[in-house]
Amino acid sequence: MDRRHFLRQTAAASLLPLLGSRLLAPAWAGAPVGALRARMRPGDPGWPATNAWDRLNAQVGGRLMKLSDPLAACRADPSGKACSDFFAQIRNPFFIRDHAELTQTSGWADAWISRPSAYAVAARNASDVAAAVNFAREHRLRLVVKGGGHSYQGTSDAPDSLLVWTRHMDDVEMHDAFVPQGCADRIAPQPAVSVGAGCIWGHVYNAVTTAGGRYVQGGGCMTVGVAGLISSGGFGSWSKRYGLAAAGLLEAEVVTADGKVRIVNACNDPDLFWALKGGGGGSLGVITRLTLRTRELPDFFGVVNATVVANSDAAYRRLIERFLVHYRDNLSNPHWGETVHFHARNTLRVSMAFQGLDKAQADAVWKPFFDFIHALPQDYHITAPLQVLAIPARMIWNPEALRKVPGAVVADTRPNAPIDNIVWAGDAGQSGQFIHSYGSAWLPAALLQANRRQALVDALFAVSRAWGLSLHFNKGLAGAPAEEIVAARDTAMNPQVLDAFALAITGESGPPAFPGIPGHEPDMQAARGDAEATSRAMQALQKAAPGAGSYVSESDYFERAWQTAFWGSNYPRLAAVKCKYDPDGLFFVHHGVGSEVWSDDGFTRLA
């Protein structure tokens, strides 16, 4: 529930880029080369005429939007009230969500800057999406898809493009006994929830848990889009109990590059269904609706917070090792998730979550670790006392209750905003952020064993000298139930996640920033310095975990070996699915499946 920290991962063995290309070759070899060689921009001879746009507008019920520059007022008067109002408004993630021109991240240093598409279809149904897909294919346009708009990599953003905006496809429907289409003789009925592609997790949790008394595995940040998270694999606070979010997908409605609306599941288009479960958003089709399994609620969800500072470097090393042993013996199980942070100045901050335990049980789990701390006052002092809170599970996302807890959430303050327009206070700073660096690395459970633990201690200590790092224990499945491991194995995720005890993340970001806007320009000197610092920090971690893969949604924009880092041995199969359903490469995102045959901006085919 704490905000993410950022990483610039420098992975890599020089063999990985070569391995990525070797893995890719069998899937693309012999594939038909489509006619699409380059995409049109405004002003090009092939750009659609006004009457063509008018016909599209009629097809989608008048929901075609010509987008304008959201920074126009700032370009006209950077010090004016309209400009200052804009920069205040983009600190509200719900304001961003309601504007097709904006994305939740304003950019990434030396990578991308948020800029609006030329046009957007504000889709209400799959037919609207199909019309947009057909139009883009027929007119050779760059096509972009945006739901929650949370992509750090900028995959829901591209200038000179046609945007499929699913924001208004936000219906939620509960099922007591759902059976995927065509699967009546293969899959038993089970409780589920169907959600539109424009839904965000906070709204879904309110419907499923607060109102419905069930649990659905989704993301920790309440403003993240459901479709994007499922497409990337997806982790919640308690993934070691409920597995990958993508593994809970029962069925999806998706529009493919041929404009066909497909209902895909384990029985219909099973290869595409598998690829949608973690194969990355925006590369294979436009998801318009998803149906996810729901679970029984535990009695309690809970959180544990504390901060400990060591009085010397030697004591900090001992603290790191003590925590890793404590984690291995007491926390690497389905009850626990979320993060521990290793900061400069010999600081360890605990920000973890639990499920299925009451307060007394959670207290007992942490007693041995804090007994160790209290027994050595000459070595350690506690700057934030241990806080253990257990919350009745049905209350965890109740917006009325959360609004009454000081400092828990930040609410949408616009007039008539829905009551469930809330975001965890720890995540609120991400709204409009400008990323300096980011990345991630799966850490195998073997690092917790005695014969390898010292290498991990050395790495974490070294990282804390240079920059700092967080271990996200809920973003690795080591310690999860066997059935959740089996379910996760049947997704497109990098198989390294199955044996990872945590995802290591570090890096940095700054406030909302846009080049060319005086007073609001990115501090590129600071950004590049941060990137260099996080790069040096992660080199130490790579020594302990050579060849570690990376989570596609929280990764280095400049990752060279992205095919193997994001999907490992699953990439050839993903590439084959891409060839089957999108042979011309209509769907393009940065470092998405098949993107290696396109220029960085997705407008020119290279092969």
For residue 536, name the pLDDT band (cuts at 50, 70, 90).
confident
Q: What is the mean pLDDT of residues 265-271?
A: 98
Q: What is the pLDDT of residue 35?
A: 62
How many Cβ atoms are within 10 Å of 307's Cβ, its own excluded? Answer: 17
- Check residue 170 and give its pLDDT: 97
Q: Return the pLDDT at 387.
A: 98
Is 70 exceeded by the pLDDT of residue 598?
Answer: yes
Q: Do 180 and 198 meet the contact criterion of CB atoms below 8 Å apart?
A: no
How far is it, in rounded angstroms, from Cα 561 to Cα 515?
Answer: 29
pLDDT of residue 465: 87
**Buried/exposed code over 200-210 (b: 16+ C-beta within 10 A; e: otherwise):** bbbbbbbbbbb
- pLDDT at position 12 is 26
Superfamily of domain 299-395, CATH level 4: Ribosomal protein S10 (3.30.70.600)
Q: What is the pTM of this model?
A: 0.94
Residues composing the chain: 607
What number is the average pLDDT over the span 39-57?
Answer: 98
Q: Three-class SS of residue 113? A: strand
pLDDT tens for each residue of 453-468: 999 999 999 999 878 8
Pairing state between β 214-215 and 422-424 = unpaired
CA dihedral 233, 235, 239, 244 (to 10 degrees): -10
Whole-angstrom Cα distance, residue 239 to residue 218? 9
pLDDT at 17: 31
Residue 376 · residue 314 · CB < 8 Å:
no
Res 202: pLDDT: 98
Using an 8 Å Cβ cutoff, are 18 and 585 in contact?
A: no
Asked if the model's pLDDT at residue 9 lies above 80, the reply is no
CA dist 49 and 270 (Å) reads: 39
- 68-116 pLDDT, tens digit each: 999 999 999 999 999 999 999 999 999 999 999 999 999 999 999 999 9
CB atoms within 10 A of CB 25: 11
Domain ranges for the chain, please list them. 50-165, 172-296, 299-395
Nearest of 523, 456, 19, 1 to residue 224 by alpha carbon: 1
**pLDDT confidence band for 34 (50 / 70 / 90):** low
Q: What percentage of the chain reaches a pLDDT higher than 70?
A: 94
Q: Percentage of the chain with pLDDT > 90?
A: 91
pLDDT band of residue 298 (cuts 50, 70, 90) is very high
Write the CA distances from 346 to 308, 383, 436, 504, integer angstroms. Answer: 8, 12, 24, 18
Of the given ranges (29-38, 59-68, 79-88, 274-283), which has the lowest mean pLDDT? Answer: 29-38
Judge whether residue 531 has pLDDT over 90: yes
How does pLDDT run across 507-522, given as a tens digit for each residue?
Answer: 999 999 999 999 999 9
* Chain CA centroid to CA 559, Å: 16
**Residue 601: pLDDT band with limits 50, 70, 90:** very high
Query: Which residues, other chains included, contact 326 with Cβ-Cβ below 8 Å and sequence gap of 6+?
Result: 368, 369
- The tens digit of pLDDT for each residue in 57-71 reads 999 999 999 999 999
Q: How confident is the model at residue 24 (pLDDT cuts 50, 70, 90)?
A: very low
pLDDT at 543 over 70: yes
Q: Taking residues 184-199, what's their average pLDDT?
A: 97
Phi, psi of 601 (to 5 degrees): -90, -5
Confidence at residue 119, expressed as pLDDT on a 0 to 100 scale: 98
Cα–Cα dist 336/320, whole Å: 18
The CATH classification number of 172-296 equals: 3.30.465.10
DSSP 7-48: -------THHHHHHHHHHHHHHTTPPPPS--B-B-TTSTTSP
pLDDT one-digit tens code per residue, 139-153: 999 999 999 999 999
Overall average pLDDT of the 568-580 stretch:
98
- 3-class DSSP state of 344: coil
User: Is the confidence at residue 26, as pLDDT, over 90?
Assistant: no
- Report which secondary-structure segment, H or E, holds 503: strand 500-505
Residue 1 has pLDDT above 50, yes or no: no
* CB environment 37-54: b (16+ within 10 A), e (fewer): eebbbeeeeebbeeeebe
Averaged pLDDT score across all residues of the chain: 93
Q: At what angle do helices 313-326 and 359-374 cross, to 10 degrees?
A: 150
Q: 348 or 28: which carries more pLDDT confidence?
A: 348
Strand partners, 343: 347
Q: Return the pLDDT at 538.
A: 79
Q: β-strands 336-343, 422-424: how paired?
A: unpaired
Least confident of 4-13, 272-281, 423-432: 4-13
Segment 364-408, tens digit of pLDDT:
999 999 999 999 999 999 999 999 999 999 999 999 999 999 999
Architecture per CATH, 50-165: 2-Layer Sandwich (3.30)
Tokens matching residue 90: 């983009």
Least confidently predicted of 31-35, 93-97, 283-287: 31-35
Encoding tokens for residue 297? 């609620």
65: DSSP letter: E
